[in-house]
Structure 1
Amino acid sequence: MNSTTQPLAEAPPTEAKRRWSRVVATLTALAVVPVLLAACAGGAPSASNSTGAPKAGGTMKVGSPSPNAAPDPVTMYDPGSINVVQQVAEYLVWSENDGTLSPMLATSWDSSADAATWTVTLRDGVTFNNGSPLTATDVVASIDRLIAPDSVSSAASSFAGILTVGHTVATDAKTVTFTLDRPFADFPYLISSANYNTVILPADYDGDFLHNPVGTGPFTLTSYDPNTGAVYAKNPSYWDASKVYLDGVTMTFFTDYTALSSALLSRSIDVAALVSYSANQPLYSSDQVVLQSTNAVGGTFLAMRTDTAPWDDVRVRQALALTIDREALKQALQGGQGVIANDHIFADLYGQNVTVPQRDKNIDEAKSLLAAAGHAGGLTATLSAPQSAAAMAQLIQQMAAEAGFTLTLDLQDDATYYNAPWLEVPLGLTGWASRPTASQFLSLAFTSDAIWNTAHWSNAEFDGLVAQYEATVDKTARAALAQQIATLMHDQVPQIIATWPENAIATLPDVHGVPVSASAYTELAHAWLDR
């Protein structure tokens, strides 16, 4: 991800861009409208819906999206593939719902005073399911594999300008030192579950995961069929095996969300991952299932090309933002779930106590701004969107019309839209997965050199503030910078961020220990069945 006032490393290869485009598209498509899934439990998850003493035994049946390609930890980009891999392979650190980090394969992570050097200590007694011990050498190889110059992993973009090959070193068998290209206070999140490709694999991993599904996780993959699903058995050598209660897991793939809902209601499956209000209405109205939810920071943003008329005039951007009835959007698209957003990235979930006056619908002011910008008679433009965000596009079209905006909809299938157009259209909707830190959004989508800066926004003051924010460790100083960044984003409004989603997972009542996940993960390490 790019996020300083200076040019950073070159963007990753086109294929890597396409892969991330597809994960954005897939996450949005799974939600149908902007209801994505939010951050989840840790290496020792404190699962919701977990009551009484856990019972050992049984096989849990999980409904999951179908993988878009053969699952591989290095190149996976869609929720289906990630679900397959994460039962077998693990992260150094786990990102929790509240944005805190929990130990997983790493027991501690410490930085130098300037946040430019990070030292990670590995857990003792961890082995891969092939019998080899986890060492610092495996961590070095896993990270260097992701950020190699020829890497097509989505993670390459996350580390761009922050960490390069050769700067991750095994100090001893259980200690890894990361020497960053520049200070980055949120670095632990880049080596956590928040950066989904960073599962740790053996140093000699050859890329053929389905034929050699190696990892340190709670389960082993015993069979895989791309058309039907995957089967897992409990990993007897797991480092926390006493807290793995299931004998195994059967994962069934779904491409149809009506079928997913029906499967849970008929008890053909125990868990329905990635449910949303819009796509799984029968589950939201049933008393036969348990829905767990959590706030998230993600959703669908409306980008306006700040380098292209008429969106290069801030008054036009502000006018469009003033036409949006945020509560109505939340009710219509999210069933009232979630939180109203305010055209900046610092949601309350990030805990920085940013205070910016809420932008509410104000048609009179919107008309006045349009007139001042030379569009007293109204403005005609095209609103582009993936088909999965069609409902949101239609609502925006209707709302904007009240102030004189005539928006023609350009709806494209998700695969086509996210292959290229989403980065170039003058006015377009983009779906974003939830991220546990603001810096991940800032450096991905808003700074001048960000490779997914859909608004093509370039503001030197903003870039400088973000660079300071990312290099600052002190919480008070960071909060002050966050306030300045949020105010600038709100005033300049390169993107309209109207709502934050609340995300959900559905289970049968006798399923326990399966927490809701912010990043579309299905965490089963401590799951159990009360049967």
Structure 2
Amino acid sequence: MSEPDVDALPQRWQDLLPAASSRRRFLSLTGGGALAALLAACAPSAAGDAAAGATAGPGTARRGGTLRVGTPPPPTALDPVTAYDGSAIALYQLVADYLIWLDKDYELVPRLATAWTSDRTGRIWTFTLREGVVFSDGTRLDADTVKASFDRLLDPKGRSAALSAFDTVLKAGGVRADGATKVVFTLERPFSDFPYLVSAGNYNAVVLKKDYAGDFAEHGVGTGPFVLTSYDVSTGASFTRNPRYWDAPKPHLDGVEVKFYADDQADLLALQGGDVDTQFLSRAALVEPLGDGGGDLVVDEVRSTAVTVLTLRVDRAPFDRKEVRQAVAHALDRPALRQAAGSGLGDLGNDHLFAPLFRSAPTDLPQRTRDKEKVTALLKQAGIDSLRFTLTFDPPNKDYAVTLQSQLKEAGITVDLDQRTSKEFYGGDQTKDTPWLFTDANLVNWAGRPVPSQLVNPMVRSGGVWNGSKYANKALDAAADAYDAATDDAERRRQAGIIARILHEDVPLVIGFWNGNTRASRRSFRGIEAHPSQYVDLSAVSRA
């Protein structure tokens, strides 16, 4: 299984762990539970959190207060099973909880599950549930409830986005309850990173009541830190603290008020004007300047695995020739693209799906750079005198598209821009004509994933559920299977290197840079952080 990055822990914690050669076995046997206990023992006492009031010290949480948050209105229904936009996800994460949370370093943090282990085959995973947890209406959490939640996600008729993460790994019927406190998942194939698929890394995987009927906006019941008290699709939502929350004395806030704003500029003005205290979805280009003056606002920044991908259809001209795809990749000035479209944040991309933030990312692959002479030579090799193609995208990627168009023009490649509304871009029949999967070239935003398999499997495996390039390569498929099954770091890095080199050579995807994420907030609140997946954990937030 995948474990926390022990090498990133403070040295005083590393010294208490087994030697490097035995760390993986130590963590696989404990499912991270022992490490969590170890870290809890080394960390400051949580007793200080209970000391609320105006006399609280610098490191002590103060009880009370209402946090005001700005965000765009969700374009999808507020349904944890099917929602896929950042605003809806942030809203239901205040109410519903996961078996496992992910911190800002993508480390696994026990929530409703306290431990997880796998058998020797890597196909059977057993999760132990936290005892004494109840939903906000008093219903007790048990294994049958967790099973029902995942059965719901795995039902093809439910149209959950979670199905993409479980594709080829877990199917309907693969979950069973073992008594009241254990849930057993039987996988279709070995998958050592499976805990990430039932964590916040699979954003629909929150645990809901057995009788959940899709009416979350009216009857949002969960085991999370807050209770939904009102929701208006036009104006916003209100939440109060959940007195039954399992992680007492959290939450420290009395409540959260969410206000919807029509666009990023309106959201920004509300933050600057003091109408809100933070944002769910801070846009780096807008909020980065706010944190430089030492005023009332602070901006937190974090690396991410979120990425905008230029997808090229390899099954029809002109991108059926590898040389043409390589020419496009060599036409990019990646640092300039990152500056123009990403506010200079994040890591440069190298046309494979292993972000530098991933532990298994290869480090020996030369960084692709702009080379106009090579662009000309590659097009000539493909028998093309001049290249012209249409790039399809939705409004959030306009800056990226315009910059791409300009850079490729300088290299002799003409790009016609085809902007669609987000509804149109992601609409249509997902199996045959939706623009984001079936146009010749397009730009797609991918939210940050905690493990590379969540990108590799849906995007570039043969027949992958979100394979917009229509790319297929048996050697890559084999390496992806081996990567997913491997439990040894060296073997994972070896297989990652194989996958990365294949993608770097064949270029079904062009990746200019990996995003950095930001979150702006007022200094009057403590504990608001940026997250690589844009999530926000408000359970520990308090007045400063």
Query: Normalised by the size of structure 2, how large is the TM-score?
Result: 0.86
Report how many residues are paired.
484
Of 403, 414, 435 in structure 2, the residue corresponding to residue 421 of structure 1 is 435
- The C-alpha deviation readout for 1:358-409, integer Å capped at 9, x for no partner, is 100011111111111112x322222222232122112212211233212222
Q: Which amino acid aligns with 2:186?
A: T
Report SS of the residue matched to 1:500.
Answer: strand
Matches within 5 A, 1:493-512: 493-512=507-526
Question: Aligned residues: percent identity?
Answer: 40
Report SS of the residue matched to 1:295.
Answer: strand
- Identify if the C-alpha distance between structure 1 residues 164 and 388 changes in structure 2 by more than 3 Å, giving closer, same or farther: same
* 1:525 has 2:539 as partner: yes
Q: Which amino acid aligns with 1:145?
A: R
Partner of 1:474: 488
Q: Which moved more, 1:399-408 or 1:421-430?
A: 399-408
Partner of 2:168: 161
Q: Which has the higher contact order (CA 8 A, sep 6+)?
A: 1
- The C-alpha deviation readout for 1:265-296, integer Å capped at 9, x for no partner, is 12111112211133446635654310001101
- The C-alpha deviation readout for 1:135-165, integer Å capped at 9, x for no partner, is 0010000000111131211112222222222
Q: Which amino acid aligns with 2:177?
A: A
Partner of 1:450: 464
Q: Which moved more, 1:146-155 or 1:486-495?
A: 146-155
Of 221, 236, 246 in structure 1, the residue corresponding to residue 243 of structure 2 is 236
Partner of 1:11: none
Partner of 1:146: 153
Partner of 2:33: none
Report SS of the residue matched to 1:328.
Answer: helix
**Is the 2:391–2:415 Cα contact (8 Å) retained in structure 1?**
yes
Partner of 1:206: 213
* 1:54 has 2:61 as partner: yes
- The C-alpha deviation readout for 1:408-435, integer Å capped at 9, x for no partner, is 2222222212221121111211111110
Partner of 1:41: none
* 1:365 has 2:379 as partner: no
* 1:399 has 2:413 as partner: no
- The C-alpha deviation readout for 1:167-226, integer Å capped at 9, x for no partner, is 211111101111111111111111000111111112222222222211101111112222
**Is the 2:90–2:280 Cα contact (8 Å) retained in structure 1?**
no
**Is the 2:167–2:465 Cα contact (8 Å) retained in structure 1?**
no
Query: Normalised by the size of structure 1, how large is the TM-score?
Result: 0.88
Aligned partners of 2:75, 2:361: CA distance in 1, in Å?
39
Q: Which moved more, 1:298-307 or 1:377-386?
A: 377-386
Partner of 1:134: 141
Residue 349 (structure 1) shift: 0.6
Partner of 2:302: 294
Residue 98 (structure 1) shift: 2.2
Q: Which moved more, 1:321-330 or 1:281-290?
A: 281-290
Of 199, 223, 233 in structure 2, the residue corresponding to residue 216 of structure 1 is 223
Residue 353 (structure 1) shift: 4.4
Q: Which amino acid aligns with 1:388?
A: P
Residue 241 (structure 1) shift: 2.0
**Is the 1:340–1:499 Cα contact (8 Å) retained in structure 2?**
yes
Partner of 2:191: 184
Aligned partners of 2:177, 2:358: CA distance in 1, in Å?
32
Partner of 1:323: 331
**Is the 1:295–1:502 Cα contact (8 Å) retained in structure 2?**
yes
Residue 124 (structure 1) shift: 1.2
Q: Which amino acid aligns with 1:335?
A: S
The Cα RMSD (Å) is 1.9
Residue 485 (structure 1) shift: 0.7
Report SS of the residue matched to 1:396.
Answer: helix
**Is the 2:264–2:283 Cα contact (8 Å) retained in structure 1?**
no
Report SS of the residue matched to 1:275.
Answer: coil
